């Protein structure tokens, strides 16, 4: 629900423009992807026990990689393993077919499966089935065959089979039409009936369980629907046992508070009981003191069309003290922001609790945060825990820094920003505006507001993620332009906000379309949210020319003419979006999303793609992880942990496939 990719972070780079760093920031480029390396400043100076802790948590993060592959699609591990076998064995490593095959494999690694990580559409291979069958005959035998050859070829080459990982189109059965592995043999009506029943039985529980979060829903041989739980001794046990092994090592070197948190997580992995997960989450959210922190578990539900099942992910991190001053100011003023939100007072939180916000340095990414990752995190997701115990909110500074470095000099601003004054403002205040937007979105936006009595929180169904992201973004955008931010020392001038406003509208209305394939609609909830906000504001402000579409030399530009009026529109939309959430108004939510967030203007779409292509900018970015190595003395005692920065995307994934792959091919 709340871990989002926020801010633009979508600009690529021309490789030739990286002159200032001794090592290029972009380590690989293929299709619509650029792979960036990130640095971990400050790691060397951490005390030994924290370095060791990061090492163990990092190992745990890598051990869950197979889980995500399997969650994304039942046959992903079969495909990946077969491709890797061929890739490492084949002697002919040139020619068009091989190049296309290598590109396909790189895409599968990046997406953790055969469906695009963002659009959810199945990849179209550019190598021929005939060539691939030759490779199968040459290199796949009884020992390394994962699934039957004909079926494997159908999976890869038949465009109609398993076409989308996540199909949320209006009017389709979102369960049977989605190829993810969260459900099997059940349809949408059955799933909804199953979980509505559980929720009804839990209706009066002030601490409602997040039913369905850690299991696959399927039918037994008698047609009875049941949950196959992801836990030690259950589904994914082979990987979870490894994760727990490293978590236990981590607990040994952790401080007492953190040890208690890690032990609660281990207990949950053993029991699979979602009450244990809530207990763990409460302990986790309360630990705001420890320098090192970790997200590890079944956390975000974006991959499930009904928003119940959570994908496995991990982010190992530690505090960036200097940058934390920014979010501490926000947290200290959290109640003021809540009390002044431009929404119905009944839907404001009377008392904002436990807003803890920090800026972190990521040390290891795993599962659904790798290679593509969010740049902000706000957890836990359970509404009642957020209300009773607060939430932890972070901005990931070394990742945004790497994005920024990788995008320098790529020509994006010159191509898409019409006015010189807007370009200047973006250059001067763009990074600060992006960072503060992320901080406000995560630190205050998601945590703000409350539900009306009687609203459960699941009324908005498939539209809930989009609406929730819109709510957090609008909160951030509205307050970014508030003079209060100057008063409390977060920004030197409102130009920081105006630069973010121009950027946001341009991205939401136009430039993010480069991520959508021609002919497709917008599906992903963060993208839908940005489009919704940009288009709604454009339309509402039309009479006063608040936002203007300009045609010049055959190119389309979008410019903001009146920042103050735009801010009022953000406030007005926030009020309505909060009302919809608080009241669980499904019909209003559906109308808002379907009107503004989904349908793409085909001409504008084609234009954006062409202009982006001419700049040679890949719309998506992801990362290679650093590597850590324990240094021991002659008695085997750990005396240091060394960090290094590999710069080879292929090698890293082959290594992970070899050393961190624990699941059977079919689970």
| Residue ranges that bind Zn ion, judged by CB under 5 A | 2, 4, 469, 472
Q: How far is the CB of 406 from Zn ion (least distance, A)?
A: 23
Tell me whether residue 342 is exposed, middle or buried, using C-beta atoms within 10 angstroms of its C-beta: 0 to 12, 13 to 18, 19 or more. Answer: middle
Cβ closest to Zn ion, residue 105 vs residue 343:
343
Cβ closest to Zn ion, residue 2 vs residue 560:
2
Cβ closest to Zn ion, residue 3 vs residue 53:
3
Q: How far is the CB of 528 from Zn ion (least distance, A)?
A: 12
Cβ closest to Zn ion, residue 465 vs residue 612:
465
Cβ closest to Zn ion, residue 395 vs residue 661:
395
Q: How far is the CB of 436 from Zn ion (least distance, A)?
A: 15
Q: How far is the CB of 343 from Zn ion (least distance, A)?
A: 18
- Yes or no: say if 420 and 403 are a contact pair by the CB < 8 Å rule: no
CA distance 218 to 309: 13
Tokens of 565: 């009026």
Cβ closest to Zn ion, residue 4 vs residue 584:
4
Q: How far is the CB of 472 from Zn ion (least distance, A)?
A: 5
Report the residue number whose CB is nearest to Zn ion: 4
Tokens of 410: 């790529």
Q: How far is the CB of 381 from Zn ion (least distance, A)?
A: 10
- Yes or no: say if 312 and 64 are a contact pair by the CB < 8 Å rule: yes
Q: How far is the CB of 600 from Zn ion (least distance, A)?
A: 22
- The 3-state DSSP composition of the chain as helix, strand, coil percent (nearest 5) reads 50, 15, 35
Nearest to 288 by CA among 246, 308, 258, 309: 258
Q: How far is the CB of 14 from Zn ion (least distance, A)?
A: 31
* In 492-551, alpha helices (H): 495-509, 525-540
Would you give the DSSP letter of residue 452? P
Cβ closest to Zn ion, residue 32 vs residue 469:
469
Cβ closest to Zn ion, residue 2 vs residue 357:
2
Cis-peptide, bond into residue 371, ω within 30° of zero? yes
CA distance 558 to 365: 36
Tokens of 520: 């497709």
Instruction: Catalogue the long-range contacts made by 280-286 (C-beta closer than 8 Å, 24 or more residues apart).
Output: 281/379, 281/380, 281/382, 281/385, 282/385, 282/389, 284/379, 284/380, 284/392, 285/354, 285/356, 285/379, 285/380, 285/385, 285/389, 285/390, 285/391, 285/392, 286/354, 286/389
């Amino acid at each position: 629900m709340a871990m989002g990719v926020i801010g633009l972070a979508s600009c690529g780079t021309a490789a030739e423009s990286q002159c200032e760093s001794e090592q290029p920031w972009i380590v690989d480029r293929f299709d619509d992807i650029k792979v960036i390396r990130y640095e971990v400043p400050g790691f060397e100076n951490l005390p030994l026990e924290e370095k060791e802790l990061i090492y163990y948590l990092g190992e745990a993060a890598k051990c869950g990689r197979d889980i995500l592959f399997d969650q994304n699609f039942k046959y992903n591990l079969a495909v990946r393993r077969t491709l890797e076998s061929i890739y490492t064995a084949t002697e002919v490593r040139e020619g068009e077919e091989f190049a296309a095959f290598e590109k396909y494999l790189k895409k599968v690694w990046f997406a953790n499966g055969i469906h695009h990580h963002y659009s959810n559409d199945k990849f179209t291979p550019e190598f021929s089935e005939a060539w691939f069958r030759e490779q199968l005959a040459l290199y796949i035998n009884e020992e390394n065959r994962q699934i039957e050859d004909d079926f494997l070829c159908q999976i890869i080459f038949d465009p109609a089979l398993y076409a989308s990982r996540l199909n949320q189109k209006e009017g389709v059965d979102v369960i049977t039409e989605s190829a993810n592995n969260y459900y099997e043999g059940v349809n949408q009506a059955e799933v909804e009936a199953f979980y509505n029943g559980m929720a009804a039985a839990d209706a009066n529980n002030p601490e409602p369980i997040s039913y369905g979060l850690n299991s696959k829903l399927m039918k037994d041989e008698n047609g009875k629907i049941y949950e196959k739980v992801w836990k030690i001794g259950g589904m994914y046990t082979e990987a979870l046992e490894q994760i727990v092994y490293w978590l236990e090592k981590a607990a040994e070197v952790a401080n007492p508070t953190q040890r208690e948190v890690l032990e609660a997580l281990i207990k949950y992995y053993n029991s699979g009981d979602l009450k244990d997960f809530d207990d763990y989450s409460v302990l986790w959210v309360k630990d705001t003191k420890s320098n090192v922190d970790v997200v590890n578990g079944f956390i975000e539900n974006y991959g499930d069309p009904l928003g119940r099942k959570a994908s496995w992910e991990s982010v190992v991190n530690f505090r960036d003290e200097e940058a934390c001053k920014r979010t501490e100011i926000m947290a200290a003023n959290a109640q003021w922001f809540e009390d002044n939100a431009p929404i119905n007072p009944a839907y404001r939180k009377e008392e904002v609790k436990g807003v803890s916000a920090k800026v972190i340095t990521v040390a290891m990414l795993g599962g659904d945060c790798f290679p593509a990752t969010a740049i902000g995190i706000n957890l836990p997701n359970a509404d009642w825990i957020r209300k009773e115990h607060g939430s932890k909110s972070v901005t990931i500074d070394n990742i945004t820094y790497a994005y920024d470095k990788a995008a320098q000099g790529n020509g994006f601003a010159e191509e898409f920003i019409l006015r010189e004054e807007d370009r200047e403002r973006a250059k001067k205040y763009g990074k600060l505006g992006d960072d503060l937007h992320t901080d406000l979105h995560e630190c205050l936006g998601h945590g703000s507001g409350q539900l009306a009595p009687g609203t459960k929180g699941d009324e908005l169904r498939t539209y809930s993620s989009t609406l929730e992201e819109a709510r957090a973004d609008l909160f951030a955008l509205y307050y970014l332009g508030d003079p209060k931010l100057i008063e409390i020392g977060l920004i030197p001038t409102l130009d920081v906000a105006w630069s973010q406003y121009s950027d946001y509208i341009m991205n939401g209305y136009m430039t993010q379309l480069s991520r959508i394939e021609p002919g497709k609609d917008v599906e992903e909830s963060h993208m839908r949210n940005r489009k919704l906000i940009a288009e709604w504001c454009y339309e509402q402000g039309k009479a006063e020319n608040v936002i203007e579409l300009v045609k010049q030399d055959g190119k389309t530009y979008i410019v903001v003419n009146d920042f103050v009026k735009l801010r009022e529109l953000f406030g007005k939309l926030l009020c309505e979006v909060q009302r919809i959430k608080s009241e669980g108004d499904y019909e209003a939510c559906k109308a808002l999303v379907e009107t503004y967030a989904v349908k793409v203007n085909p001409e504008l779409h084609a234009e954006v793609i062409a202009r982006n292509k001419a700049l040679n900018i890949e719309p998506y970015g992801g990362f290679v992880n650093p590597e850590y190595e324990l240094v021991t003395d002659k008695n085997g005692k750990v005396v240091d942990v060394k960090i290094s920065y590999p710069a080879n995307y292929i090698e890293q994934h082959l290594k992970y496939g070899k050393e961190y792959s624990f699941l059977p091919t079919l689970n």
